[in-house]
Homo-oligomer: A and B are copies of this chain.
């Protein structure tokens, strides 16, 4: 993987392997990707906390990896997962972090 474009990180798109919904986007460094492969659960590098975190390690809403794809220029991964626990991926209690249309938010 090419970690050079984002200071040691690559974006990781998390997609439900059953419904194909895009659930969230996080960032992985080399160690997070290695832990994701080793444990079978999606593990990210938290930019705000400066450390690894396995998604759902406290809530139980782990993301069990079914496959990992890499893009053509090796700087992004697409992680297909099965949702465990109550299946809500977003900290707001929604199933996916992408639950608002941009237009609705009035943002730009």
Residues of A with Cβ closer than 8 Å to B?
1, 5-6, 11, 13, 15, 20-22, 24-25, 30, 33-34, 37, 47, 67-74, 76-78, 90-92, 94, 97-103, 105, 107-108
> Please, how many angstroms separate the alpha-carbon atoms of A82 and B13 in the complex?
20
Copies of this chain present: 2
A11-B11, A22-B13, A24-B71 are known contacts. Are A78 and B107 too (CB-CB below 8 A)? no
A1-B108, A107-B1 are known contacts. Are A72 and B101 too (CB-CB below 8 A)? no
Q: Find the B residue at minimum CB distance from A91.
A: B72
Nearest CB in chain B: distance from A31 CB, A: 10
Cβ-defined contact, A97 with B72, below 8 A = yes
Cβ-defined contact, A68 with B101, below 8 A = yes
Within 8 Å CB of A74, what residues of B? 105, 107
Cβ-defined contact, B100 with A70, below 8 A = yes
Within 8 Å CB of A92, what residues of B? 72
Within 8 Å CB of A105, what residues of B? 70, 74
Within 8 Å CB of A47, what residues of B? 5
